[in-house]
Amino acid sequence: MPKVGVTKATKSFTLTMSTLAWLDEYCIKKNKKMSAVINDLINELRKQTEAPKYNLYWCTSCSDNTVRSLVNDEPVCVVCESIDEGLSRARKQFNLSRQP
Binding residues (CB under 5 A) for Zn ion: these are 59, 61-62, 77, 79-80
First to last CA, the chain: 43
Angle, CA of 95, 49 and 59, to the nearest 5°: 45
Cα–Cα distance between 83 and 70 in angstroms, integer? 9
Closest distance of CB 92 from Zn ion, Å: 20
Closest distance of CB 74 from Zn ion, Å: 13
Cα–Cα distance between 17 and 74 in angstroms, integer? 55
Closest distance of CB 90 from Zn ion, Å: 17
Spatial contact of 60 and 44, defined as CB atoms under 8 Å apart: no
Q: Which is nearer to Zn ion, 25 or 64 (CB)?
A: 64
Q: Which is nearer to Zn ion, 59 or 87 (CB)?
A: 59
Q: Which is nearer to Zn ion, 40 or 81 (CB)?
A: 81
